[in-house]
Structure 1
Amino acid sequence: MDAIILARAQFAFTVSFHFLFPAFSIGLASYLAVLEALWLKTGKGVYANLFRYWLKIFAVVFAMGVVSGIVMSYQFGTNWSVFSDKAGPVIGPLMAYEVLTAFFLEAGFLGVMLFGINKVGRKLHFVATLAVALGTFISAFWILSVNSWMQTPVGYEVGANGQFLPGPSWLTIIFNPSFPYRLFHTVLAAYLTTAFIVGAVGAWHLLKDRSNPGARKMFSMAMWMAAIVAPVQIFAGDMHGLNTLEHQPVKVMAMEGHFQSHPHGAPLILFGIPNSANQRVDYAIEIPKASSLILKHDPDAPLKGLDTVPQADRPPVGIVFWAFRAMVGIGFAMLGIGALSLIARWRKALYDWPLLHRFAVLMGPSGLIAVLSGWIVTEVGRQPFTVYGLLRTTQSASPLDAPAVASSLLAFVIVYFTVFGMGIWYLLHLMKKPPEAHETPLGDAPIRSAGITPAPAIIEGASA
């Protein structure tokens, strides 16, 4: 493998690890804010117990997200210096805004959120929790704006040295054509990711003890999220797909497996084996004209295929094809468990249906798999460009030798699996413990006594 392929593999590996933690922490921060708000409103200790329970997990997830994000950012300078030079005048300020707004907000209030319940009072502590939740959303806003501009670049000017320079309006760059769809779809994915992890933990403890009030409450709240948000997410995904068809049609061709054009209506290929060498999908199971119906709202509408695109401008079809199906399949599985939970509520058996609980435990990591699959569709489907249609990946890499990139990739693999493997093991250890069965208000049980002590490494990492 050459240096560019190794550099791509390194970035894919590190960003895949990193993406797991923000996808969880964005939703978990909002969940903590909801729990504290319900405790302040009702005074019920069950919400305080759940807040303490998930706050410990949030602290670990947040710390691992910070560490993995810092490491990943260095690769822009080491492996992708040409890209950084060409696109830096546009994406550099956007990423700086993320640090100045979101990260400073999170870091400034994180310590109060973790350790301040007995020091600053209930209302001020709730403000800190809201600030951290808002900070995670603002962070997603800016990062997705950067990524969306790379997918649908607008509002730029090309300088004399080939750099992309910001045009007269930053709003055009920030709110580029794919950004609203990508932001809505990704944030909903983060909420669903958190909901299914919370639901899996609640279901696990319900299988052990159906009377545990904390397990019952977290499972109920998670299933409400699944029932309400999963159908909204499917609709948002469809809108995002239509936007992608408008601005990145080649990506949609790869997602659908359309090697050939269909002048009289394209089929929806459910499953099959993409065969790029022979330009077809082998063993295809398809619904005639359904793809045209979904994408054009007309079963007889023509759809272009990859045969209209030069070979050098096509993404790797197999990876995009299967990642897209994994994401969509998980989305409909989420819809299914949400529907089952409504049936269980109607039968008054939400806490007494072991089959539903086992299904929820199985679906625990589904959100993480779905967001990774969606990221693969987005990023691999953009190939062979880093800035879509303007800057190729082969033109973006630093002039490095393959052995240098290979050695650093090997080091990342060893360190990441060791460090983050231990972190994930510790998270599972925390989740394995049941929430407190007796109700204890937050002010009567310091968060520190629940297992968190002020860790300088966490605070320093957050400030970084």
Structure 2
Amino acid sequence: MDTLDALTLARIQFAFTISFHIVFPAITIGLASFLAVLEACWLRTGREVYLDLYHFWSKIFSVNFGMGVVSGLVMAYQFGTNWSVFSTFAGGVTGPLLAYEVLTAFFLEAGFLGVMLFGWKRVGPGLHFFATVMVALGTLVSATWILASNSWMQTPAGFEIIDGRVVPVDWLAVIFNPSFPYRLVHMVLAAFISTALLVAASAAWHLLRGRDSAAVRTMLSMAMWMLLAVAPLQAVVGDFHGLNTLEHQPAKIAAMEGHWENEPGAGVPLILFGWPDMQHETTRFALEIPRLGSLILTHSWDGQFPGLKEFPPENRPNSTIVFWSFRIMVGLGMLMIALALWAFAARRGGALYRSRRLLRFTLWMGASGLVALLAGWITTEVGRQPWVVYGLQRTADAVSPVGAGQLGVSLALFVIVYVMVFGAGVGYLLRLIGHGPVAHAGGHPPPSATAGIAALSSTRS
């Protein structure tokens, strides 16, 4: 019983800390690329509005970056404190991948971050733009290594087990494991969508309060164009990701769909809503669309995929959790596409900045990208259970030999400290956003369009 309690507390603690942490890297990835685009637009056009937005969002970026670093350090320590058996078993793969992330991505970000934030009066426009691009590139490289490590835990490849430990034998196979490309693209697009919604909600908040300015209009316009381009693309990537998951983790798909068994010769329905009952092996109160599950997951009218009853009970994910977390993610994704299309129609009708109903909806959708991101990670991680390394090591066998009392105390301390520290940090970020962009004062004088193009050319050479 103590082991079970310790396992449960260790899982809760990891889920709690990673839920806090993942929000900050997602915004960092999106904002870094947004800043690079803003500075490129400023250099090419010489319009001060882009510079105003750069200075505004760079403050938010820097605070968010700092909170992401702090919360990430806590995650790394937990591998040694709470999951030491996992680290012993799989550290030959996960350790080097996390080290590569520090040696490449973090050093790249940290090395150029100072120039990006404090180098306006010390370096030329071309070099400063190069620093911004390097920071943006660093966030994407960081996501690459982290997703490679996590994806390997989902679909392990390129290894041998020697003396009870994982030994990498093909690093290309380790890094480019079967689920890695889909999960990387899905995560990066989710970061862009989350950031676009945050930027759009900020603009909507100011417009609803009568703070209409060129900067506010520009960030709403740019955010909605990004949402229109990326939200539908994310749905397509999600479909490919689902097919890949069906191939390599069919039990996860069955749990996501609340699918228990196939009827001979019949297609699989899509269950829109219901309540998967793990004990009685059925989905109660199911609202179904006949054959649509087959069409989505097998791309055929009567195709079938394994149901949960085809897996031993001890190897089944918790369908109740995964079923609903997946639907929260998909439901919010559909609302995002609807918002993008509504904004596009309002733009064509000249009402993008005036429609209060649209602006209110945009404001309410501000955090939806992050909520969908968390729901997606819950689907991925809970759907992998009961394995910590899929098919190789069970989560119950990966926890450190520590008592439930120790884990309970540390979990309570984490909750208290996180609420205080990150609560204050998020509050400060919201105050910064509430102040809004202001006219540029100080720093580099806005270049002419010709000078901007020359600066861009110098960075390419």
User: TM-score of the superposition, structure 2-length normalised?
Assistant: 0.94
Deviation at 1:439, TM superposition (A): 5.7
- 1:394 paired residue number: 396
Is 2:219 the partner of 1:199?
no
* Contact persistence 2:79–2:87 (CA under 8 A): yes
* SS of 2:384 mapped into structure 1: coil
Is 2:122 the partner of 1:119?
yes
* Contact persistence 2:206–2:212 (CA under 8 A): no
Uncovered stretches (5+) of structure 1, i.e. residues with no partner? 446-464
> For residues 430-453 of structure 1, what are the alpha-carbon distances to aligned partners after superposition, in whole Å with 9 as ceiling and x for unaligned?
0111212x46685149xxxxxxxx
Q: For 1:346-357, list aligned pairs within 5 A.
A: 346-357=348-359
Further displaced range: 46-55 or 279-288: 279-288
For residues 305 and 53 of structure 2, the distance between their equivalents in structure 1, rounded to whole angstroms, comes to 51
Structure 1: which amino acid aligns with 2:180? F
- 1:164 paired residue number: 166
Is 2:282 the partner of 1:277?
no
Q: For 1:241-320, list aligned pairs within 5 A.
A: 241-263=242-264, 264-320=266-322
- 1:373 paired residue number: 375
Deviation at 1:248, TM superposition (A): 0.2
Aligned equivalent of 1:145, options 144, 148, 151: 148
* SS of 1:271 mapped into structure 2: strand
For residues 205 and 30 of structure 1, the distance between their equivalents in structure 2, rounded to whole angstroms, comes to 23
Structure 1: which amino acid aligns with 2:84? S
* Contact persistence 2:25–2:65 (CA under 8 A): yes
Structure 1: which amino acid aligns with 2:76? S
For residues 101 and 53 of structure 2, the distance between their equivalents in structure 1, rounded to whole angstroms, comes to 30
Q: For 1:298-447, list aligned pairs within 5 A.
A: 298-436=300-438, 438=439, 442-444=443-445
> For residues 157-208 of structure 1, what are the alpha-carbon distances to aligned partners after superposition, in whole Å with 9 as ceiling and x for unaligned?
0102x101001x2101100000000001100000000000000001111112
* Contact persistence 1:215–1:435 (CA under 8 A): yes
- 2:453 paired residue number: none
> For residues 185-243 of structure 1, what are the alpha-carbon distances to aligned partners after superposition, in whole Å with 9 as ceiling and x for unaligned?
10000000000000000111111226311110000000001111100000000100000
Aligned equivalent of 1:2, options 2, 5, 25: 5
Deviation at 1:278, TM superposition (A): 1.6
What do you get for the CA RMSD once the two structures are aligned? Answer: 1.2
* SS of 1:102 mapped into structure 2: helix
For residues 248 and 434 of structure 1, the distance between their equivalents in structure 2, rounded to whole angstroms, comes to 46
Aligned equivalent of 2:104, options 71, 84, 101: 101
User: TM-score of the superposition, structure 1-length normalised?
Assistant: 0.94
> For residues 238-290 of structure 1, what are the alpha-carbon distances to aligned partners after superposition, in whole Å with 9 as ceiling and x for unaligned?
10000000000000000000022343111100111121122111111110010
- 2:92 paired residue number: 89
For residues 302 and 50 of structure 1, the distance between their equivalents in structure 2, rounded to whole angstroms, comes to 51
Q: For 1:10-89, list aligned pairs within 5 A.
A: 10-89=13-92
Deviation at 1:71, TM superposition (A): 1.1
For residues 441 and 27 of structure 1, the distance between their equivalents in structure 2, rounded to whole angstroms, comes to 26
For residues 119 and 269 of structure 2, the distance between their equivalents in structure 1, rounded to whole angstroms, comes to 58
For residues 395 and 350 of structure 1, the distance between their equivalents in structure 2, rounded to whole angstroms, comes to 55
* Contact persistence 1:46–1:440 (CA under 8 A): no
Uncovered stretches (5+) of structure 2, i.e. residues with no partner? 447-461
- 2:209 paired residue number: 208
For residues 346 and 105 of structure 1, the distance between their equivalents in structure 2, rounded to whole angstroms, comes to 41
- When residues 95 and 262 of structure 1 are mapped into structure 2, their CA distance, relative to the original with a 3 A threshold, is farther
* SS of 1:344 mapped into structure 2: helix
> For residues 368-396 of structure 1, what are the alpha-carbon distances to aligned partners after superposition, in whole Å with 9 as ceiling and x for unaligned?
10110000000000000000011000111
* Contact persistence 1:26–1:190 (CA under 8 A): yes
For residues 278 and 83 of structure 1, the distance between their equivalents in structure 2, rounded to whole angstroms, comes to 32
* SS of 1:75 mapped into structure 2: helix
For residues 224 and 419 of structure 1, the distance between their equivalents in structure 2, rounded to whole angstroms, comes to 34
